[in-house]
Amino acid sequence: MVKVVILGSGNVGYHLSKIFLSSNNVDLIQVYSRNIHTIEFLKDKVSITDNINSLLNADIYIIAISDGSIVEFSKSLPHLNKLVVHTSGSISIDAINSENKGVLYPLQTFSKNKEIDFKNIPLCIETSNEKSLVLLQELASAISDQVFLINSEQRAKIHLAAVFVNNFVNHLYEIGQQICKANEIPFEILHPLIKETSEKIMTCSPKNAQTGPAKRNDQETIKKQLKQLNMDDAKVYETLTQSILKIYS
């Protein structure tokens, strides 16, 4: 059974600790956080610590902290002589200050208050050597049915694409909700459309699924809609309309 220590208490660390604790093939032996109170809820189930120098002896140490802190944190680790991985989409494997290093990137958006079905989350894995790859693959396969070997360059591109289809998409939902709110329309009226739009591209390419005023180059509607928007949202509308027009005109 793979012995694991999680370093960090953010959304990814939280969900990994939960799934590892529920797995029969993973032995989560310790969770570290510099703020011990953020992991106190785990203390009956696993060893917790805020002392980086009292880490237990594991097979894999998983750094699950913010992207910008990985390099510095990795340097602050004692010499572990075991596989050390991070969980970031945009950071290279070389950010880790260890010969035996890797990446375990779960391609999903996490919030603490929403349950996640890990089995269906794509896990992108990478290691600095073959032996560690077998070990990391064993860990990844224990929690997910979708494990992909992805190098740092590809991972950066996946993360970039994810910013478009997740972060930016969610922001468009936010703008849609603001428009509804300002006009006393329940946002729920848009839920079926949002659902259908996201489901459609599972069976049909986004290019074939595209509809709307920009796709049709319907300048009359475009002008009418631009007039109804505040300056910031009009800029988003205009940029995306131009981008669509370039593809279909």
The minimum distance between CB 248 and a second copy, in angstroms, equals 10
Helix (H) or strand (E) segment spanning residue 16: helix 11-22
C-alpha 173/C-alpha 142 separation (Å) is 34
Closest CB to a second copy among 82 and 200?
Answer: 200
The minimum distance between CB 59 and a second copy, in angstroms, equals 26
C-alpha 97/C-alpha 39 separation (Å) is 25
Residues β-bridged to residue 100: none
**SS3 assignment, position 46:** coil
Alpha-carbon Rg of the chain, whole angstroms? 22
Closest CB to a second copy among 131 and 216?
Answer: 216
C-alpha 132/C-alpha 205 separation (Å) is 37
Closest CB to a second copy among 24 and 211?
Answer: 211
CB 121: neighbour CB atoms within 10 A? 19
Closest CB to a second copy among 81 and 221?
Answer: 221
The minimum distance between CB 71 and a second copy, in angstroms, equals 11
The minimum distance between CB 223 and a second copy, in angstroms, equals 11
Closest CB to a second copy among 37 and 114?
Answer: 114
Between the two ends of the chain, the Cα-to-Cα distance in Å is: 57
The minimum distance between CB 36 and a second copy, in angstroms, equals 24
The minimum distance between CB 29 and a second copy, in angstroms, equals 29
CB 134: neighbour CB atoms within 10 A? 10
Closest CB to a second copy among 47 and 146?
Answer: 146
C-alpha 187/C-alpha 207 separation (Å) is 26
Closest CB to a second copy among 81 and 198?
Answer: 198
What crossing angle do the helices spanning 231-248 and 169-182 adopt, rounded to 10°?
130
CB–CB of 73/63 below 8 Å?
yes
The minimum distance between CB 247 and a second copy, in angstroms, equals 7
C-alpha 102/C-alpha 130 separation (Å) is 11
